[in-house]
């Protein structure tokens, strides 16, 4: 009406932000009546027959019942009183009832985290179908996080939540971050805590680890995982980012474990770049690292059997036959075994993990082939025969010669082939060469294989020839040193 005093109806309506029709109605003093909330229904209540008699008693008896659970119950047992098309009405009615009469809900309390105060660690399963050389990889991620800045460290673990996996992951996380927080929080890991007793809570090895790094270990209450919310939610985030990175890569297959581990580190590094400023500020508040690392392994003393094997954690490992009868000290890490004989580091083996009560074997033909080549017939009925074959190529070769050659000749050929693979150090190339001959229906003889893969290239000695200066020859002529 203020604009209408000096402007036309159209201009005044535009300046007031209303339509011309509303302006015309105002000029004519014809105002719309105020809308009143109606207090009557426009259709029959679809829950009239079930709400008071069926739904309310269920809600009051069990606060954990979901609307979908109640809907399924009504559809199954009360079809004569409930119309399935009323599902949304049922869900809205239950939601309003719980807002007014339902039980109290959990409240999230936002925490204050001071820089350098708290680091938190956990293990989480990776469910993506990752394969290594075509074989499915069942594994976990060890995940460590500085809560104040959000900086994270993660590494792949292949066994359970053992002390070696926990201590190795923490030690590398401390080294990578450049310092140690004042407190370390985990859940009730059996590798760190004695969960069946109230006193002397820490295991001796974990207590020693914490003393070495000067960190105070804490944990959430037993059975209350959500108290570790600062790591549980980031667990899902890092797994989602790993999933997306694998999808963008276009393949879940990797040639080696090392390649997959490097891929995981690249994903984590990309996450950390986003919090680099906050992390640099928190680094200033971390405690200094000790000079030396803590031990992250357990020691076992084992004797090598006559079969050139040791057994550890339900896994049988072959070792070089020269160690038969020796007493070895085995340092068991999460991903490897270090074998020490008479105080000397002799061999490193990749660790194999046996889950549950299963038993597994780790057989390397290099360890026993020198003995096997002296008695090749033992190959046919050896318990480890299939494990001695190092790849699918050699398994296909054995299948072919076992079907086409006599028993003795097949064993003799296979054992000599493995012996040649070790001597030439060209296992893959030798297997492909023999398979190519089989595909041409001509099995290469051992002499042909040896000529091709054991050809000796003599190394000529390096000779240095010093050229005399021309002036030296002139001096000989002057002194008569040259005679006909």
Q: Say if 374 falls within a structural domain.
A: yes
**Per-residue model confidence as pLDDT tens digits over 89-105:** 999 999 999 999 988 88
**Per-residue model confidence as pLDDT tens digits over 357-402:** 889 999 999 999 999 999 999 999 999 899 999 999 999 999 999 9
**Per-residue model confidence as pLDDT tens digits over 104-136:** 888 877 888 899 999 999 899 999 999 998 889
Please check whether residue 229 is in contact with residue 111, taking contact to mean a CB–CB distance below 8 angstroms: no
Q: What is the per-residue pLDDT for 34?
A: 66
Please check whether residue 257 is in contact with residue 156, taking contact to mean a CB–CB distance below 8 angstroms: yes
Q: What is the per-residue pLDDT for 422?
A: 92
266-273 CB contacts, 8 Å cutoff, 24+ apart:
267/238, 267/241, 267/242, 268/152, 268/153, 268/154, 268/238, 270/241, 271/152, 271/238, 271/241, 272/151, 272/152
Same domain, 252 and 126: yes
Q: What is the per-residue pLDDT for 112?
A: 85
Same domain, 84 and 131: no
Same domain, 87 and 198: no
Q: Say if 302 falls within a structural domain.
A: yes
More confident residue, 346 or 219: 346
Q: Say if 476 falls within a structural domain.
A: no
The last residue of a domain, from among 283, 314, 341? 283
**Per-residue model confidence as pLDDT tens digits over 463-479:** 777 777 777 777 767 66
Please check whether residue 137 is in contact with residue 129, taking contact to mean a CB–CB distance below 8 angstroms: no
For the chain, what's the residue count? 484
Q: What is the per-residue pLDDT for 88?
A: 95
Please check whether residue 48 is in contact with residue 39, taking contact to mean a CB–CB distance below 8 angstroms: no
What domain range is 85 assigned to?
A: 51-101
**Helices and strands per DSSP (H, E), number in the chain:** 17, 15
CA dist 420 and 283 (Å) reads 55
Residue 399 structure tokens: 């299948």
Same domain, 65 and 156: no
Residue 242 structure tokens: 């790993």
Q: What is the per-residue pLDDT for 482?
A: 47
Q: What is the per-residue pLDDT for 195?
A: 52
Same domain, 163 and 232: yes
CA dist 161 and 64 (Å) reads 32
Q: How many domains is the chain partitioned into structurally?
A: 5
**Per-residue model confidence as pLDDT tens digits over 310-357:** 999 999 999 999 999 999 999 998 888 999 998 899 999 998 888 778
Q: What is the per-residue pLDDT for 221?
A: 59
CB atoms within 10 A of CB 268: 19
CA dist 290 and 301 (Å) reads 29
Same domain, 130 and 268: yes
Same domain, 151 and 279: yes
One-character DSSP codes across 13-72: HHHHT--HHHHHHHHTT-PPPPP----S-SS--TTTTTIIIIIHHHHHH-TT--HHHHHH
Give Cβ neighbours of residue 257 (< 8 Å, ≥ 6 apart). Answer: 132, 137, 156, 158
The last residue of a domain, from among 230, 255, 283? 283
The mean pLDDT value for 419-429 works out to 92
CB atoms within 10 A of CB 154: 24
Same domain, 239 and 317: no
The band of 21, judged by pLDDT with boundaries at 50, 70 and 90, is confident
């Amino acid at each position: 009406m203020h604009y209408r005093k000096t402007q036309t109806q159209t201009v005044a309506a535009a300046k007031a932000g209303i339509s011309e029709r509303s302006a015309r109605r105002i000029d004519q003093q014809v105002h719309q009546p105020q809308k009143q909330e109606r207090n009557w229904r426009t259709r029959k209540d679809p829950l009239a027959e079930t709400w008071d008699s069926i739904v309310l008693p269920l809600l009051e008896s069990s606060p954990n019942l979901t609307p979908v659970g109640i809907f399924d119950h009504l559809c199954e047992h009360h079809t004569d009183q409930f119309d399935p098309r009323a599902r949304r009405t049922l869900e809205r009615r239950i939601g309003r009832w719980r807002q007014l009469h339902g039980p109290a809900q959990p409240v999230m309390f936002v925490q204050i985290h001071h820089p350098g105060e708290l680091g938190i660690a956990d293990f989480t399963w990776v469910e993506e179908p990752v394969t290594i050389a075509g074989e499915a990889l069942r594994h976990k991620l060890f995940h460590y996080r500085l809560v104040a800045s959000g900086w994270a460290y993660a590494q792949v673990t292949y066994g359970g939540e053992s002390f070696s996996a926990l201590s190795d992951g923490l030690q590398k996380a401390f080294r990578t971050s450049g310092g140690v927080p004042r407190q370390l929080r985990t859940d009730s890991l059996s590798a760190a805590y004695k969960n069946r007793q109230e006193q002397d809570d820490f295991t001796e090895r974990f207590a020693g680890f914490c003393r070495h790094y000067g960190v105070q270990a804490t944990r959430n209450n037993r059975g209350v995982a959500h108290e570790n919310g600062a790591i549980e939610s980031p667990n899902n985030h890092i797994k989602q980012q790993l999933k997306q990175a694998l999808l963008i890569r276009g393949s879940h297959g990797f040639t080696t474990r090392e390649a997959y581990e490097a891929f995981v580190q690249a994903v984590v590094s990309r996450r950390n770049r986003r919090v680099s400023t906050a992390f640099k500020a928190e680094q200033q508040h971390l405690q200094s690292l000790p000079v030396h690392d803590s031990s992250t392994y357990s020691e076992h003393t084992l004797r090598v059997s006559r079969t050139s094997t040791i057994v550890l954690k339900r896994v049988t490992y072959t070792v070089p036959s020269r160690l038969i009868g020796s007493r070895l000290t085995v340092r068991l890490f999460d991903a490897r075994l270090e074998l020490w004989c008479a105080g000397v580091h002799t061999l490193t083996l990749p660790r194999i993990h046996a889950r549950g009560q299963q038993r597994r074997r780790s057989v390397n033909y290099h360890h026993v082939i020198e003995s096997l080549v002296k008695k090749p017939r033992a190959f046919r009925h050896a318990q480890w025969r299939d494990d001695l074959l190092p790849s699918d190529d050699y398994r296909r070769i054995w299948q072919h010669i076992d079907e086409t050659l006599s028993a003795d000749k097949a064993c003799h050929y296979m054992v000599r082939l493995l012996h040649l693979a070790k001597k030439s150090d060209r296992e893959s190339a030798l297997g492909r060469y023999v398979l190519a001959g089989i595909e041409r229906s001509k099995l290469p003889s051992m002499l042909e294989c040896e000529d091709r893969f054991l050809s000796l290239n003599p190394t000529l000695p390096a000779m240095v020839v010093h050229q005399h200066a021309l002036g030296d020859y002139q001096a000989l002529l002057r002194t008569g040193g040259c005679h006909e």
